[in-house]
Structure 1
Amino acid sequence: GDVAFSKSELELGGAVPLSQRAPGVSLGAGLRLGALCPLPLGFASTAAIAPSRLNDRFQLGGPTDVRGFKLGGLGPHDGPDAVGGDLFAAGSLNLLFPLPYRGPDSALRMQLFANAGRLVALK
């Protein structure tokens, strides 16, 4: 092909109950990191490194990513169009608790959450 890159992602997440006296209440957190590093083509160490392509870049934003932003809403843009980025970090923190008058055995829960993220291009 005519493109070479290394692309990696790391995702960590977990949740813990807050106390035995408040059943059904838990605190959760998550962290996602990603990096796309363009590489030289071929085996020559002097080969030029081309910038990453739009379709290879990360997109950030949306209901399953960083809530409150439309899909691809974070990061570099060319006018209204998202062009993606080469490095990203996204984190979340949430508090789950039972609905009032439903109790901890109900499958329905209330959630308070905070999300943050950053997406940047290398070139």
Structure 2
Amino acid sequence: MKIKQFEDKSLSHYSYAILSECENKVILIDPARNIREYLEFAARHEATVVGVIETHPHADFVSGHLELYETTGAKIYCSKWLGAAYPHQFFDEGDVLTFGKIKLKAINTPGHSPDSISII
């Protein structure tokens, strides 16, 4: 497993790529609008972006989740409390995403927004 943090200093925003090295698959967490760096990360590792997790709605920036979905076919995961009107799969308390040897578990953590999730 490899985890890469991406920083957008102008927005004080962090996003993450989690790479399953045994399957060459990537899941992204809270991607920024410009998806180029995520696609380059995947290409450098000869990997495919298979999922995007939105931990909460981002009123302070535009997410690249839809472009990633359209470009790569990656599934979008978010809380059922978000009320998303785009193609997605619910990812809430107790749900687990497994890819390669990696398991990501959702925990509902309302606070920043009522539909926030954390991932362990």
- TM bucket (normalised to shorter chain) is under 0.3
**When the two structures are superposed, what TM-score results if normalisation uses the length of structure 2?**
0.27
Q: Which has the higher strand share?
A: 1
Q: Which has the higher helix share?
A: 2
**Which has the larger Rg?**
1
Structure with bigger RCO (C-alpha 8 Å, 6+ apart) = 1
**When the two structures are superposed, what TM-score results if normalisation uses the length of structure 1?**
0.27
